[in-house]
Homo-oligomer: A and B are copies of this chain.
Amino acid sequence: MKARATETQRKTRIQIENEERILDAALEEFSAHGFRGATIDRIAEHAGMSKPNLLYYFRRKQDIYEALIARLLDKWLEPLQALDAVGDPLPELQSYIRRKLEMARDFPRESRLFANEILQGAPRIKRLLESELKPLVDEKAEILRGWMRAGQINTVDPRHLIFSIWSTTQHYADFDVQVQVILGPDRGAAGRFEDAARYLETLFLDGLRPKDKAGGTPRVRDL
C-alpha cells in the first residue's frame, strides 16, 4: 500500500529513515533557494535517492515543504514559549535573547527557511502564523506589559521589542555571508557569536547612551 501520511498506520523502518533523509535534504535546498528556487531533483540527489523514489514518500513538492515547516515550527518558537512571567524581567529577557542567538548559531538552515518563506510573502504559512505565532506573541506581550507597569523594564511597545530580538539574533544566521565579509575570518564562528551575545546584552540592557557623563544629563534627544 502507498505510504501516505494521511492514513493512521505504523511507519516502516525504511519509511522513517527515508523521510528523515528527505526532510534533511529538503531543509538544505529550501533554506538555500526558497520554495520556488529549490528543485525536487536536487533534493533527491542530496538525499541520495531517485526522484520517483522521493515522490513515493512525498507526492508533491509542496508536501515536503509543509512537512518540513510543521516539523520545525514548534522548535522555532520554543525560546519564546520559555519566556516566563515569574522570573526577574531582565535576566529573563537576557535568557531569551541568548536562546534565540543560540538557535541562530546551531540551526541556521531552519532560520533561513523561515526567513525565505516570510520574505517571499509567507504564501504557504500565513495561516499558520495567524493561528500559532500571533496568539503566542500576544500572550508574551502581556507578560512584558506587566513588567513595564511594575517599572521593572522600560516602557515600550512589547511587540516591537520582540521584533527587535528576532531580527538582531536571526541576522547572524540569515545574513551570515554578509556578517563574515564584514568581520573577516579572524575569529571563528564561535567567536563571532560570543561577540554578538556580548554586544546584544549591552544594547538591550543599556542602549548606547553612556550611563553618567561627568556633569548632569545632557539628554540630547531630537534629530
Contact = CB atoms under 8 A, between A and B. Distances in A.
A147 to B, nearest CB: 9
A208 to B, nearest CB: 5
Nearest to A171: B167
Size band of the interface chain A makes with B: 35 or more
Nearest to A36: B37
Contact of A177 (B35, B126, B204): B126
A161 interface: yes
A222 B197 CA distance: 12
A5 interface: no
Given A33-B120, A155-B219, 4 more contacts: A32-B120, A98-B223, A129-B178, A167-B170
25 contacts: A33-B120, A34-B34, A34-B37, A36-B37, A90-B208, A90-B209, A91-B222, A115-B175, A116-B116, A119-B175, A133-B178, A133-B182, A134-B182, A151-B210, A151-B218, A152-B210, A157-B199, A157-B223, A159-B183, A160-B200, A163-B171, A167-B171, A168-B168, A203-B203, A204-B207
Interface of A: 32-37, 88, 90-91, 93-95, 98, 112, 115-116, 118-122, 126, 129-130, 133-134, 137, 151-157, 159-164, 166-168, 170-172, 174-175, 177-179, 181-183, 195-196, 198-200, 202-211, 213, 218-223
